[in-house]
Amino acid sequence: MSTKTVNRPPDTRAVRRRVSLSDRIALRIGMSLIIWSRRTHHVRPSVDLETRRRLERERAAREVAWLTQVGMLNRWR
């Protein structure tokens, strides 16, 4: 935490703007969802080795395709 905000009180001369009711409700719902999602423990499903290998192959193929596309764009320039 910054020491500047700890030692200095907040500026009370700032113009205070009203927050709409819909914004307050949205903020409260969003914060509740964030807190709820952090409290619930997600158990990751077990992935079998064949599925893991297939996902790795697909990821490697995407990387190769991306690299070749970038290489072709560099040549084109």
Percent pLDDT > 70 in the chain is: 82
Residue 4 CA to residue 9 CA, distance in Å, equals: 9
pTM over 0.85: no
Give me 9's structure tokens. Answer: 């009180």
Nearest-5° Cα angle at 50, 49 to 54:
115
pLDDT digits (tens, 9 = 90+) for 19-54: 899 999 999 999 999 988 888 777 777 878 999 999
Alpha helices, DSSP H, located in 1-76:
3-7, 21-39, 49-76
Of 6-10, 14-18, 62-66, which one has max mean pLDDT?
Answer: 62-66
Residue 38 CA to residue 32 CA, distance in Å, equals: 10
